[in-house]
A and B are shown apart, each in its own frame.
Chain A
Amino acid sequence: MFDGRAKAWRQGTLRTGWSRMFVLLPALASGCVSDGTLLDENSAVALRTVRTQARQDLSCPAATVSIVSEKEVPGAPWGFLYSDYRVRAEGCGRSAFYDVECRDETLCDVKRVQP
């Protein structure tokens, strides 16, 4: 759920002409954007969001972050796609893992998880 409103989020057989359109429209659409694009676009904000939190959690201003795994996840039906990342943070001899779910470059949710 949206904890504390949007706070956490902000952190982050057919032969007719008609039938041809039915077939072509999704086919054209599916060729427009590759699945990797959304993940690439949102990765920067995901890393930035985790970096901020990890530096606090690890008490380490020099903590670095890296993506361990990533995938696209559909949310509620007929709605948005989310980019889901597992991110590792390390620094000052400590490490932590985070799950980050981003809808777009302005809306990410971060949770610290066990490795």
Chain B
Amino acid sequence: MTCRRFRGACRAVALAGLLTAVAVPGAADITTTWGSWAQLVGEGSLGFVDSRLESLRLWLELQGRWNEDWQHFYQGVARAALGYSLSDRATVWLGYNFVPTQLEGKPYFAQQDLFPGFRYIMPTGFGVFMFRTMVDINFIRGDDVRYRPRQLIRYLRPFAFDERLSLVAWDEFFVRVNSTEWGGKAGFDQNRAFLGFGWSFSPELRAELGYMNQYVEDRDLLNETDNNLIMGSLFVGW
């Protein structure tokens, strides 16, 4: 067989084919856009209120999102969640999102979500992994509720030449469990992939900046949007 003689080339062709198959599931239209997301995330123990609340955690988050080549502020996110630390590394969460949205040329709507979640932080000798599972319960319009689980895998590795600087990479994918009128057909919803750098000002304060690719399926699972985003984050712990 030719492939036996040119094993490396065959593997490359097979891999390219596989990647193409994943990236382009059908003869779909892909719209490419540019924009930015900014977020401020705060989290800490409620032990400062009462020492008996040491295992309870509060997570507060604000986001602003721009699209149309940075010409249009289209979405905000306000998130609040209460967590319980099962251990120093594992936390269960119950939270709420408010997501006001104004897409260009479309009517304003505000989505509200409830979510249970679980997070696990796993330090290793070559960096820190974080796993976060959430099940978004989306209230978009009326009582047509969409269930959308999401899974985040995140990697953080400090550089040897300056311990305050770190490499940050993560991926989060979303799946629609059920079909709804406003939330679209059940199936793959979107994937977010990030690559960037973090800077630790202190153990309690870290900034991150990088590129995020958001690949979003439309409601009928026919066309996709490929959002290229510059994402900046500020993380505050207490």
Which A residues are closer than 8 A to B by beta carbons?
Answer: 1-2, 6, 9-10, 13-14, 16, 18-19, 21-23, 25-26, 29-30, 32-33, 35, 38, 71-82, 101, 103-104, 106-107, 109
C-alpha spacing A59/B206, complex, angstroms: 37
Report B-chain residues with C-beta under 8 Å of the C-beta of A25. 131, 133, 151, 153
B100 near A: Cβ within 8 Å? Answer: no
Task: Say whether A1 contacts B43, CB under 8 Å.
Answer: no
18 contacts between A and B (CB under 8 A): A2-B200, A2-B201, A6-B163, A29-B122, A29-B131, A32-B122, A35-B87, A35-B88, A76-B43, A76-B235, A77-B41, A77-B235, A77-B236, A81-B89, A103-B163, A106-B160, A107-B158, A109-B203
In chain B, positions 173-208 with a C-beta closer than 8 Å to chain A are: 175, 177, 198, 200-206
Q: Is B156's beta carbon under 8 Å from chain A? A: yes
- Complex Cα spacing A108 to B124, Å: 17
CB–CB A33/B123 < 8 A: yes
- Chain A residues with CB below 8 A from B59, complex form: 77
Instruction: Note all chain A residues with C-beta closer than 8 A to B198.
Output: 79
Residues in B whose Cβ lies below 8 Å from that of A104: 123, 158
Cα of A72 to Cα of B120 in the assembled complex, Å: 13
- Report yes or no: A18 in contact with B175, Cβ–Cβ below 8 A: yes
Q: Is the CB of A80 within 8 A of B177?
A: no
Q: How many pairs, one residue from A and one from B, have CB atoms within 8 Å of each other in the complex?
A: 115
**Cross-interface CB contact of B201 among A1, A72, A101, A107, cutoff 8 Å:** A1
Distance between A28 CB and nearest chain B CB, rounded to angstroms: 9
Instruction: Check A29–B88 contact: CB distance below 8 A.
Output: no
Contact B237–A75 (Cβ < 8 Å): yes
Q: In angstroms, how far is the closest chain B Cβ from the Cβ of A41?
A: 8
Chain B interface category by residue count: 35 or more
> Mask for B65-106, Cβ within 8 A of A = 1, else 0?
000000000000000000000011110000000000000000
Q: Mark B150-165, 1 if CB is under 8 A from A, else 0.
A: 0101101010101110
Beyond A35-B88, A81-B89, A81-B123, is A76–B205 a contact (Cβ under 8 Å)? Answer: yes
Contact of A76 among B89, B130, B158, B206 (CB under 8 A): B206
User: A6 to B236, alpha carbons, bound, how many Å?
Assistant: 19
**CB of B42 within 8 A of chain A?**
yes
Check: B149 CB closer than 8 A to any chain A CB.
yes
Q: Please give 11 more A-B residue pairs, beta carbons under 8 A apart, in addition to A1-B201, A26-B131, A78-B156.
A: A6-B163, A6-B164, A10-B163, A14-B177, A19-B177, A23-B133, A29-B129, A73-B88, A75-B204, A80-B128, A81-B89
